[in-house]
Amino acid sequence: MLAGMTVDPKNERPIFGVGMMLGSVSVFAVMDTLVKWLAADYPIYQIMFFRSAVALLPISLFIMGAGGWRVLKTAHPGLHLLRGCIGVSAMFTAFTGISKMPLADAMAIFHSAPILMTALSVPLLKEVVGIRRWAAVSIGFCGVLLVVKPGTEVFSQGALYMVVAAFFVAFASNLIRIMARYDDAACITFYFTVAATVVSSIMSLLWGWQTPSLKDSALLASVGVLGGCGQYLMTLSLKNAEVGLVSPLKYLMIVFGGILGFLIWEEVPDTFSLIGIVIIITSGVYTMQREARLKRQKIMENV
C-alpha cells in the first residue's frame, strides 16, 4: 500500500528490509485471524473501529520517525478523501470476506490485488503495459477463478467480498502512487486511518454498539495494535530494501493464513484452490518483479 516509496541505494539494508517484511506479514496474518475469530460475535464495523482507532497509536510513532507532525500538511485533501473512501470500502469488504471463508483462500484472492493493480494502471495512470505483464494478469485472473469457483456449488459470498476488496485495494494502490508524488507515506497512512476511524464510529452509532467483554476488548484492541505495527514494519521494509526484493514476501501471508486456519478451524483448501493459489502467487511475484525492474530502468534513464 506504499507503492510510491523508493530506496536510496546508499541507505539500502536488504537483510533488515527482508526481516521487517517477514515481521509485517506475520503480524498481518495474526490480525486477520483475530478478525475472523471476532467476526463470529461482533459486527464488522465495530472491528473496523478498533482496527483504526487503536492503530493511530503506533502510527503516531511512524509519523515521529518520518519527521514529526509537519509531514501531515497536504495540498491535496481531495485525494486523501477519495483514498479514505476507497480504503474504508476495502477494509469492510475484506473483513467481511475473511469472516465468511477459509483464511488461505481469502488471502489468496486478496493478494491478487497487485495483478489487478497492473491492469488498472492503464486507465488510471495511463501506463503502457507490455504483453508479458498482460499475460501475467490474465494467468493470475485464471488463478482467482479457480479459488472463487463462480457458478459452482462451493462458490461463497465471502469469495465475492474478497474479489471486491482486491479491486478496491488495487484502485487504492494506484491512487497512492499518485499521492506519493506530493505527500509522505506517513501522511497518507494517517489520514486513511482517521477516515476509517470516523466512518466506523458513525456506523457503530447508527447500527448499534455491542459492548465487548474484558477479554474481547483486549482482542479487539490487539487488532488495531497489530494493524498499526504491521503497517509500520512494512514501511520500514520498503524504506530499507528494493520493492522487487521484499514485496513478493507478502505472499507468505497466504501460507501463514493457511496454517492458522488449519490449526484453529481445521480449514483445508481443496485441490482447485491450491492450484489457484500457486498461480496467483506466481503471477503476482512476476508482476512485482517486472514492475520493480521497469522502475529501476526509468530511474537510470533519468540519471
Query: Given this model, what pLDDT does residue 1 score?
Result: 47
Share of the chain above pLDDT 70, in %: 90
Q: 81 lies in a domain?
A: yes
pLDDT tens-place string over residues 31-40:
999 999 999 9
Nearest partner of 92 among 44, 28, 52, 31, judged by Cα: 44
pLDDT of amino acid 3: 46
Q: For residue 244, what is its C-alpha cell?
A: 522487487
pLDDT digits (tens, 9 = 90+) for 258-281: 999 999 999 988 898 999 999 988
Q: What ranges in the chain are assigned the alpha helix state H? A: 14-38, 44-53, 56-66, 77-100, 103-110, 113-125, 131-148, 157-179, 185-207, 214-240, 243-246, 252-265, 271-302
4, part of any domain: no
**Residue 294: is its pLDDT beyond 60?**
yes
CA-nearest of 153, 149, 166, 49 to 98 is 166
What is the total count of domains within the chain? 1
In this structure, are residues 128 and 119 in contact, taking their beta carbons and an 8 Å threshold?
no
Cα radius of gyration (the chain) = 19
Ramachandran class of 288: left when φ > 0, alpha when ψ lies in -120 to 50, beta otherwise: alpha
Q: Say if 86 falls within a structural domain.
A: yes
| pLDDT in the model for residue 283 | 86
* Helices 77-100, 157-179: inter-axial angle, 10-degree rounding: 160
DSSP 183: S
Nearest to 251 by CA among 171, 175, 143: 143
Residue 291 or residue 190, greater confidence:
190
Q: What is the model's pLDDT at position 152?
A: 63
Asked if 287 and 115 count as a contact pair (C-beta separation under 8 A), the reply is: yes
Asked whether residue 275 is assigned to any structural domain, the reply reads yes
CA dist 146 to 1, 56, 85, 272, 282, Å?
Answer: 25, 37, 30, 6, 14
Mean pLDDT rounded to a whole number for the chain: 85
Domain, as residue range, for 140: 25-302
For residue range 184-240, what is the model confidence (pLDDT) as tens digits? 888 988 999 999 999 999 999 898 889 999 999 999 999 999 988 888 888 778 778
Is 187 part of a structural domain of the chain? yes
pLDDT at residue 247 in the model: 75
| Residue spans of alpha helices (H) in 39-127 | 44-53, 56-66, 77-100, 103-110, 113-125
pLDDT of residue 129: 73
Residue 288 domain flag: yes
| Domain presence at residue 20 | no
Rounded mean pLDDT of 6-27? Answer: 78
Q: Are 289 and 248 in contact (CB under 8 A)?
A: yes
Q: Is residue 6 part of a domain?
A: no
Share of the chain above pLDDT 90, in %: 44
Question: 60 versus 4: which is more confidently predicted?
Answer: 60
What stretch of H or E contains 198? Answer: helix 185-207
Half-sphere exposure of 37 (CA within 13 A, CB side): 18
pTM: 0.85
